[in-house]
Amino acid sequence: MKKNNYGQKKNNNKPQQRVSNFQPRQKGKEDFAKVNGGVFVYSRPLTVAELSAAINVPTPAIIKFLFLQGKAVTINQLLDDETIGTICLEYDYDFKKEKVVDETNFEELEINDDPSFLKERPAVVTVMGHVDHGKTTLIDAIRNSHIVDTEAGGISQNIGAYQKEVQGKKITFIDTPGHAAFTAMRARGASVTDIVVLVVAADDGVMPQTIEAIDHAKAAGVPIIVAVNKMDKPGANPRKVLEGLLAHEVVVEEYGGDTMSVEISAKNNQGIDDLLELILLKAEMLELKANPDRYAIGTVLEANLDKGEGPKATLLVQNGTLNVGDYVVVGETYGKIRRMTNEYRAVLKTAAPSTPVSVIGLSAVPSAGDRFMAFPEEHQAKEIAEKRALAKQAKTRSGTSALSLNDLNNLVNAGKIKDINIIVKADSDGTAQALKANLEKMSDDKVKVHVLSASAGAISDNDVMLASASGAFIYGFNVRPDARVRQKAEEEHVEIRLHKIIYELLDEMEAAMKGMITAEKVEQVLGQAEIRHIYKISKVGTIGGSYVTSGVMKAGCLIRLLRNGVVIYEGKLGSLKRFKDDAKEVKEGYECGLTIDGYNDIKEGDIVEGYEMVEKQ
C-alpha cells in the first residue's frame, strides 16, 4: 500500500475517495498580522484596532497620526495597503504583505498533485474566428448535429460545450460566438481552453474578429490550430489566408513555424478527420492531465434563470470530479448540485475533468466566467460564499486592483518584477506598429512589456474587454474612446492612457518603468457633443448645431474634434449658445450651438469633446 500526500492509502483496485482541495487548518493558526524580526507581515486589509494590536501602538495614537495626515478614520475602519505602510514607517517598522490562498480566493489556488494520482484528461478545444466563417458549422459537422439551424441569424448566441469521442479519446469543444458584440464571451472561452481552433474562411481571409481571436488566444497563452474553412467555395484561396496570418505572428508549419494548419469544408464534411487527428496530436504533445480523486474545480461557461428550474449554469470541470449532491461555491453564491445533464440532456451522476455539464441547484445565477469549487459540507460552502461576498464589497469600496501605470511605477519602486500587458490603438496602422516595436524594446530585467494588440481605429468595447481579460491597460494615440466605451472601461477597471505625441507616450512608459513618475498634468474630460446640423454665417464662420451626449460642455474649454473616433483637430471652444443666448455651460441631454476657435471644417456626425487639464499625483 502506498500513501498519498494527504495521508490516505491508495488502493489501485477501488475508486479513490475524493480529497479536499485545501489542507484543513487548525483554529487559531490564522496569523494574518504579526511582527517578525522588525518586519510587520500581514495578509489582508486590517482595521485600525487590528493594526494597533499587531504593532503594539495605542489606537488613539494611530487615529491622531492619520488625522494629522488629513485622514479621519474610526477604530473599526479598514485601512488600505498604502495607509498601513505609512503607519508602519512612522513607528519604525518595515512592512510586507503576504498573499494567502485559501477557500475564499480559490481562483488563485495552484494544485500540485503527486504525479502518481494524475490521469490523462480530454483536451478542451475552443473554436474561434470571424462571424460567418463557419465555426458552428464545423462543430455541427463534428457532432453530426444541426446546431446552426437553431441559432438566430445563423450566429451563435451562447457558449455551447460539447464532447466528441475520436479514436477512443474524448475531445471537449467550446463554440464561442464570432460576432463582434460577443468579444467578452470569446475572452472567457480562451481562458479555459487548452487549444484554439482558429477558423478562417478561404474565400474571405483574415478579418477583424479573426485578429481579435488571435489576440485572445495569445493572451491566454494557448496553441492555435488554423482550420482554413470553405474550401468548397469557387473563390477559395488558402494561400492568401496563411500569408494574411503572418502579419499577426501566426506562422504555420508550411512556412517554417510551429502552428498546425488544415484545409477543410465543414459544409461538405471534408478534412474533419484530419483536423481531429491534429487536435489529438497536439493534446498528446501537451500531456494534459488532472486528478479526478478530489473535489471539483472549474469555470462557469454560461448561466441563466430558467422559469421552471431556477438558476441554471453550464459548468466546465477542469480538475477533480463533480458529483450530484456536491455543494459548490460559484463567485459569491453557493448551492447543492441537484441535477447534472450533458449536451444531449442525458442525466449524469458524475462529471470527470474536462467535462461540460448543465447544473441546477444554485441559490442565484452566477456570472459567466466565474470560477467554482465543490465542497463536502453545506455549512462550509455557505460560509465561504458569504466571506467572498464581503471581500468583494470591500474590494469594490477600495477601488480597482487592476494594474495601472501608477501601479507599475509603485511596483518598480518596491523592487518587484512585473509583466505589463498593453493594447495600442492609433490613427494609422503604421503608427500602431511603430509604437508596438518601441514599447516592446523597453523590456528590461525589471519589467517585461507585452503588446497584446496594436491596430488602427477608435478605442472600442472589444479593446476594453481584451484589456479586462488580460490585465492590460490601453494606450490611445490620436484616437479617443466615446462616452460609452469610457464608461465600460470604468466598470471593468481598465485604464486608458491617451497621447498625441509619440515621444511623450514613450517617455511616460520609460518613467514608469524606472519608478520616476511624479506629479503630472492630466486631462479631465468634461463631456461630448454630437454635431447634428451645420450653419454657415459669413461674419461668424461655421456653427455646429449640437446635442450634448454626455457630461457638460463649458464655454472656452479645450476641445478636440473627432471624426469616426479619430482626432482631426485640437483647439479651444470659440462660443457656446443656448438658443440666442451665450451659455457658460450646457449639460447632457440639451441642445446648443457652438463654434471652434479658428476652425470651420466641421461636419454632421463629428464629435466635439471638451476637456480641461488638472494636476494629479
Task: Identify the structural domains of the chain with CATH numbers, from first to last.
Answer: 33-97 (no CATH), 118-290 (3.40.50.300), 297-380 (2.40.30.10), 405-518 (3.40.50.10050), 523-616 (2.40.30.10)
CA distances (Å), origin 405, targets 164, 174, 252, 420, 421: 45, 35, 36, 9, 11
Give the mean pLDDT of 599-617.
85
Q: How confident is the model at residue 294 (pLDDT cuts 50, 70, 90)?
A: confident
| pLDDT tens profile 350-408 | 999 999 999 999 988 887 778 898 988 888 888 888 877 776 665 554 444 456 666 66
Cell of 68: 494629522
State pLDDT tens for residues 177-211. Answer: 543 433 454 454 546 889 999 999 999 889 888 88
pLDDT at 473 over 60: yes
State the distance between the two ends of the chain, measured CA to CA, in whole angstroms.
64
According to the per-residue pLDDT averaged within each range, which of 48-62, 275-289, 416-430 is highest? 275-289
199 and 142 in contact (C-beta within 8 Å)? no
CB-based contact 258:285 (threshold 8 Å): no
Task: Give the cell for residue 268.
Answer: 461538405
Nearest to 453 by CA among 182, 134, 183: 183
**Each residue's pLDDT tens digit, 573-593:** 999 999 888 899 999 999 999
> Is 6 a residue whose pLDDT tops 50?
no
* 78-79 vs 558-563, strand pairing mode: unpaired
pLDDT of residue 307: 81
Give the per-residue pLDDT at 406: 65
Residue 240: pLDDT band by 50, 70, 90 thresholds?
very high
Q: Which helix (H) or strand (E) holds 536?
A: strand 520-537
Residue 398 has which C-alpha cell?
Answer: 477600495
Averaged pLDDT for residues 221-242: 91
Give this prediction's pTM.
0.62
Highest mean pLDDT among 240-254, 357-371, 454-468, 492-506: 240-254
- Which of 150-155's residues contact partners 24+ apart within 8 Å by CB, and which partners? 155/131, 155/179
Least confident of 141-150, 475-484, 524-533: 141-150
Decide: residue 151, CB within 10 A, 0-12 exposed, 13-18 middle, 19+ buried.
Answer: middle
| pLDDT for residue 467 | 83
CA 289 to chain centre: 26
pLDDT confidence bin for 44, thresholds 50/70/90: confident
The mean per-residue pLDDT over the stretch 17-28 comes to 58
